[in-house]
Amino acid sequence: MNTIILLTLLIAIVAPAVVMVCRADRRTTDLNRVPFGFGPDSERIHDELVVLNLRRRDCA
């Protein structure tokens, strides 16, 4: 009985999430997608992330 309830809850949560992801993907197919790490600002962004990571470690 517990298995049936668990599966029902799982389906009730996972199914709408899958539908929303598929719909969002269809809506954004016309947008340009640049691979992560490429582009004119990639080096600057990488450096900023490194600095933020170091600051976080220092504060911990």
Assess if residue 27 is contained within a domain.
yes
| Residue 11: predicted pLDDT | 92
| Residue 59: predicted pLDDT | 77
Assess if residue 6 is contained within a domain.
yes
Q: Which is more confidently placed, 1 or 10?
A: 10
Assess if residue 25 is contained within a domain.
yes
Assess if residue 37 is contained within a domain.
no
Assess if residue 21 is contained within a domain.
yes
Give the range of the structural domain holding residue 14, as residue numbers without chain letter.
Answer: 1-32
What is the token pair recorded at 6? 């668990």
pTM of the model: 0.45
Assess if residue 2 is contained within a domain.
yes
Half-sphere exposure of 53 (CA within 13 A, CB side): 6
Assess if residue 48 is contained within a domain.
no
| Residue 38: predicted pLDDT | 73
Per the structure, how many domains does the chain have? 1
Q: How far apart are CA 12 and CA 3, in angstroms?
A: 14
What is the token pair recorded at 16? 């709408």
Assess if residue 41 is contained within a domain.
no
- Tell me: the pLDDT tens digits for 7-50? 999 999 999 999 999 998 888 777 776 666 677 788 888 899 89
| Residue 51: predicted pLDDT | 92
Give the count of beta carbons closer than 10 Å to the beta carbon of residue 28.
Answer: 9
